[in-house]
Structures are given as C-alpha cells and as structure tokens.
C-alpha cells in the first residue's frame, strides 16, 4: 500500500473511532459526535505529520540515548499542543455566542484521559514512522568488525562460482568487459567527482570515491561514506542521472551502491542478492538490481 493511501485510511479510521466513541460514551447525537470526532482528529493529523517528519528525517539513525530524549520531548510537545488545539476547536464548535467563542479546559478527569490518549497516539505514530523508514531502507543490522574481517578474507581467496543462480553461491561484482555505450560514456564524463553538503553555515565537499552507499526516502537521501553519513535534499533519481554508472549502481528503489566498495555478494533467493559492503553494512537488492550486478560478473 502506498504511503498516501495508508495516511488517508488512517485519518478516516481516527475520525470514525473518535466519532463512535463519543456517540457511545457520551450519548451525543450524530451531529455532535461527528463534530467532536473532527475536533479530535485535526490535532492528530497536523502534529502527527510534523513529528513523523522529524522522526524520519532528523531522529532515525541517531544514538539510542539521543533518540530516547528526543522522543520524550516530542511526546510532551505533541500531547500539549494537541490538547490546546482540541479545546480551541471545541470552543469554536460548541462555545460560540454573539460575542465570540469561549475556550474552556476539560475537567480534571477529561484532561488526564486526553493526555493519556495523546501519549498513546504519539507512541503509535512513532512506531509507524520507524516501520515506514525500515521498509524504505531495507538494510540488515551491521555485524562486528571481526566477523566482517573473516568474511572479507574468505571472499578474497574464494573463486567466483560458475552458477551465479545457485542459492549458496557467492559473486563478486567487477566492471563489465563489454564496451560502454555512448550514453554511459556521456554520463561518466559529466559525473562530478565531488558534491558539497551544508554543515551549519558552511559547505564542505564530499569525495565521491569514499561514498559507500546512498539511501533515499521521498525528497531526501543519506550519503554514507568511509568517515560518516550526511543527509541531503537530493532524490535518488537525481543522483542516478549524475553519478558515474561505472562506479554506482541503483540496486534497489531505495539504494545506490558504489561497486568499488562491495566486499562480496551472495544469493538471497527470489533473484535477489545480499551485498556485503567493506564497512560491514549489508544491503538487499531488488531482482532488477541483482541483474545489473550479475551483468558485471566475468
């Protein structure tokens, strides 16, 4: 299911849940139940979209302690702002009069219940944000350096198997022996050797030869280099058009890899491959991406 369709269904589900709850719990008529459901849904939609964006763009990938502290602060802000907007909307819907509308806080019991509800809603939004980010970036956990070193040593001494489609086979992508096409040559000649990223008020260069992989979601991409990672507002499609195709391959709709930093690859079933990068990172390819890499094996 596409994200927009999921979001639309989630909004409709939240609205119906609130409306039905108000109808059953407070015995409100249909009009009041629907208005109350709308008043409760609007804060969730507005502030939920904001915190999800913050989590996916700024928070995921940070240290665990930083994530915990950030979640506590974000949850508190979400609960407070949602409560304030709710009582304002309730004042507009139910407290209107000739001289304007009156904003009244909920009763003590109602405030506690609403706060608990907002905290629970934030927890659900955060969980969905992580699940969506994981589906956009299908990468397996990094293993320790000792295991990586042993596997790299084995890969360097192992011969490339004849049957590349065998499930237990290992393949090492290498440059193609065929002559490059004219379009490939043009892209290679036009590919910049450096990009610049903004760090504070400064622009610092990234040596593209040190790039291990580039992952993307929506309008942003995360560049992983030998020394760290950088978040940039460039789509994977834009990167694909400008990068040297002799070095970089888009192996998945969410991943571009530098073939010069692939330590080894292994069949993962269904025509896919698992790429073991030199840094220990493991990336799963799509079937199309696996075909591109198998086309480089000699």
Sorted by where each begins, the domain ranges of the chain are: 3-136, 139-294
Q: Which of 277, 227, 229 is nearest to 251 (CA)?
A: 277
Q: Which range among 35-49, 56-70, 99-113, 275-289 shows the weakest confidence by mean pLDDT?
A: 99-113
> Element (H or E) spanning 201, and its range?
none
Give the separation between CA 255 and CA 271, rounded to whole angstroms. Answer: 17
Buried b (16+ CB within 10 A) or exposed e, 165-201: eeeeebbbbeeeeeeeeeeeeebeeebeeebeeeeee
- The distance of Cα 208 from the centroid of its chain, to the nearest Å, equals 23
| Residue 98, φ and ψ in degrees, nearest 5 | -60, -35
Mean local confidence (pLDDT), 250-273: 90
CB 22 within 8 A of CB 34: no
pLDDT band of 158, cuts 50, 70, 90: very low
**Is the predicted pLDDT of residue 151 greater than 70, yes or no?**
no
CA distances from 82 to 103, 127, 129, 233 (A): 14, 19, 19, 29
User: CB 241: neighbour CB atoms within 10 A?
Assistant: 12
What is the helix (H) or strand (E) element at residue 220, kind and residue range?
strand 220-225
Report the pLDDT value the prediction gives residue 47, as an integer from 0 to 100. 93
Nearest to 118 by CA among 203, 18, 214, 197: 18
Kindly state the percentage of the chain with pLDDT values over 90.
23
**pTM across the whole model:** 0.47
Query: Is the pLDDT score of 159 beyond 60?
Result: no
Reference 248, options 287, 275, 266, 271; nearest CA is 275
User: What local confidence, expressed as pLDDT, does residue 142 receive?
Assistant: 41
Closest CA to 223 of 245, 199, 201: 199
Distance CA 148, CA 154 (A): 10
- Tell which CATH architecture fits domain 139-294: Beta Barrel (2.40)
Asked whether the beta carbons of 172 and 297 are under 8 A apart, the reply is: yes
**Is the pLDDT at 255 greater than 90, yes or no?**
yes
With a pLDDT cut of 70, the percent of the chain lying above it is 73
- Partners of 257 in beta bridges: 213, 249
Encode burial over 261-295: b for 16+ CB neighbours within 10 A, e otherwise. bbbbbbbbeeebbbbbbebbbbbbbbeebbebbbe
pLDDT of residue 95: 64
- Could you give the angle at the alpha carbon of 238 between the alpha carbons of 235 and 242, nearest 5°? 140
């Amino acid at each position: 299911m596409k994200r927009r369709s999921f979001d639309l269904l989630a909004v409709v589900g939240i609205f119906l849940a609130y409306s039905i709850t108000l109808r059953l719990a407070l015995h409100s008529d249909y009009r009041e139940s629907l208005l109350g459901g709308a008043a409760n849904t609007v804060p969730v939609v507005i502030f939920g979209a904001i915190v999800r964006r913050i989590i996916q763009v700024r928070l995921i990938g940070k240290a665990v302690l930083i994530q915990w502290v950030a979640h506590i602060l974000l949850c508190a802000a979400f609960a407070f702002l949602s409560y304030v907007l709710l009582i304002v909307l309730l004042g507009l819907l139910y407290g209107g009069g000739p001289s304007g509308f009156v904003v009244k806080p909920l009763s003590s019991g109602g405030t506690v219940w609403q706060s608990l509800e907002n905290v629970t809603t934030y927890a659900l939004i955060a969980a969905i944000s992580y699940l969506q980010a994981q589906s956009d970036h299908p990468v397996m956990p990094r293993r320790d350096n000792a295991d990586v070193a042993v596997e790299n040593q084995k890969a360097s001494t192992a011969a490339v198997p004849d049957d590349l489609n065998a499930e237990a086979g290992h393949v090492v992508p290498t440059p193609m022996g065929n002559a490059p096409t004219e379009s490939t040559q043009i892209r290679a000649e036009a590919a910049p050797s450096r990009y610049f990223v903004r760090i504070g008020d400064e622009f610092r260069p990234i040596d593209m030869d040190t790039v291990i992989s580039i992952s993307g979601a929506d309008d942003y991409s995360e560049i992983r280099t030998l020394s760290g990672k950088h978040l940039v507002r460039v789509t994977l499609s834009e990167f694909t058009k400008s990068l040297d195709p002799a070095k970089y391959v888009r192996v998945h709709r969410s991943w571009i890899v530098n073939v010069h930093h692939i330590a080894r690859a292994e069949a993962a079933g269904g025509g896919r491959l698992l790429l073991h990068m030199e840094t220990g990172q493991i990336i799963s390819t799509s079937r199309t991406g696996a075909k591109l890499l198998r086309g480089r094996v000699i």
